[in-house]
Amino acid sequence: MAFKIKWFETIDSTNSEAVRQLKECDDFTVFASGYQTSGRGQKGTRWESEQGKNLTFSVVLKSEGIKAENQFVVSQIITIGIKRYLKSKGIEAKIKWPNDIYVGDKKICGILIEHFLSGDTLSGSVVGVGLNVNQDKFSSDAPNPVSMKNILGKEFSLEEELQSLVGHFHEIYFPFINFISNATINRLDNEYTDSLYRLNEFHKYQETPGGEMIMARITGIDHNACLLLEKEDGTVKRYHFKEVKYII
């Protein structure tokens, strides 16, 4: 299993560095750092990570076989890979739509994906991953962080765990891009849906920007990767990213 990992002791952002080197680097190049001075999260937030304690890295994917309309498969490959990796460590995780990783009601991993298009296909994707590994105390206003050390009570070698985690991505990504079909896309859809946090459970959600509170259950995603929520009266509504907020 061959892939290139470029390690940096300190960097502004592995995603930023991956974008800077996007044209020159090979498919499945990994940029990793012990500390990011400007690590980014979703919605422009900053990802909290104590220096040398967690996995903060980005993977460059340059398959030209993924149609722009199917770009959500990148999120599915990465989130399923992380879930499988954590399971190999004895941690049962779920995917909080669209691409956070939760253990119980706590967030262990965040993902930020940037896509680049050429016509109707992806020319490249930069996938940034922040996985809480050895940090046991969190000082930011993030409401519910947790780490592998919090859960399992031991520390891990970041270099060894990065190899293992990226290996799980590798074993999903290359078989998929070498034989993209409706069947392979459906298999990803099914595993992703079965892994969803709160699947088929009634919980409170808040619609945005209106602020209406609803009680509903997740039944899956549609062909546009929108979240499907079924209300107590049986009606089903689809939500794009940022149109609904989980109440945890």
Q: What is the pLDDT of residue 138?
A: 87
Confidence (pLDDT) at 222:
96
For residue 149, give the DSSP letter. H
d(CA 158, CA 53): 8
Taking the domains of the chain in order of start, what are their residue ranges?
5-194, 202-246
Contact (CB, 8 A) for 125 and 25: no
- The CATH class that applies to domain 202-246 reads mainly beta
pLDDT for residue 21: 94
Write out the chain's pLDDT in tens, 248 residues: 567 899 998 899 999 999 999 999 999 999 999 888 876 554 455 556 788 999 999 999 998 889 999 999 999 999 999 999 999 999 999 999 999 999 999 999 999 999 999 999 999 999 999 999 999 988 876 679 999 999 999 999 999 999 999 999 999 999 999 999 999 999 999 999 999 999 999 999 999 988 999 999 999 999 999 999 999 999 999 999 999 999 99
Please identify, in words, the CATH class of the domain defined by 5-194. Answer: alpha beta
The rounded distance, in Å, linking the Cα atoms of 126 and 115 is: 7
End-to-end CA distance of the chain: 39
